[in-house]
Amino acid sequence: MLRRFLDALYLFAGYAAGGFLVVIFAIMMVMSVGRQFQLNIPAGDDFASWCMAAMAFLGLAHTFKRGEMIRVGLLLERLHGRTKQVAEIAALSIAAAFVLYFAYYAVQMTYDSWRFNDMAQGVLAIPMWIPQLGYSGGLVILSIALIDEIVNVLRGNRPSYVQGSPDESPEEFVERISQGGGG
C-alpha cells in the first residue's frame, strides 16, 4: 500500500512538472503572438518564471526514481557486492542530508511568506507562498524519494534508478544508450 502511494506521489509530481511545462509554453506563445495583436499578459514573465521553478523542482523525484537523472557513478560502477551496497547507501545518505537541509529551509521560507503575507512585487500582487509551493513541495518529494531509496538499498535490493543488467560491460552500456535505452 505504501509502495503504491509513493509511486503515485512521484508520478503525480512528474505529471505536475509536465503540466507546468505546458503552461510555460502557453504563456510564452500567447506573449509572443499577442504582441502582434496588442495582447499582453500582465506579469506573464513572473508567471513563466514561477512555473519554471515549479517544473524543475517537482520533476526531480520522478526523474531520480526513473534513473533519468544524470549521475556520476565512476566509483560506484567499479565496486561490487557488499562494498557497492555500502557505497550506494553512503551516497544516498549524503544526498538525502543535503536535500533535507534545503527542503527544511524551503518549507520554512514558504511558511514565513504565508505567515507574513508576503506579496509579489510585480504587476500583480500575488501571495508569494503560492509560487513557492512548487519549489518547497518538489524538495520535500525528492527528500521522500531519497529516503525511500535508502530503505530499498538497505533491504538488499538494487537501486531503482540503476538501469541495465548488473554485469553490463561499458560497450553494452554505450550500445544501449545509443539505441535510446536510457542511462
As a whole number of angstroms, the distance between CA 53 and CA 159 comes to 27
| pLDDT of 168 strictly over 80 | no
As a whole number of angstroms, the distance between CA 70 and CA 67 comes to 8
Confidence of residue 160 (pLDDT cuts 50, 70, 90): confident
Q: What 3-state class would DSSP assign to 161?
A: coil
pLDDT, residue 175, reads 74
Report percent pLDDT > 70 for the chain: 89
Residues 6+ apart with CB under 8 A from 88: 76, 153, 159
As a whole number of angstroms, the distance between CA 31 and CA 47 comes to 11
| pLDDT of 182 strictly over 60 | no
pLDDT, residue 84, reads 87
pTM for the full predicted model: 0.83
As a whole number of angstroms, the distance between CA 49 and CA 106 comes to 17
Taking the CA atoms of residue 55, residue 94, residue 6 and residue 168 in that order, the dihedral angle to the nearest 10 degrees is 90
pLDDT per position as a tens digit, 141-155: 999 999 999 999 999
Residue 9 has, within 13 A of its CA and on its CB side, a CA count of 19
pLDDT, residue 165, reads 59
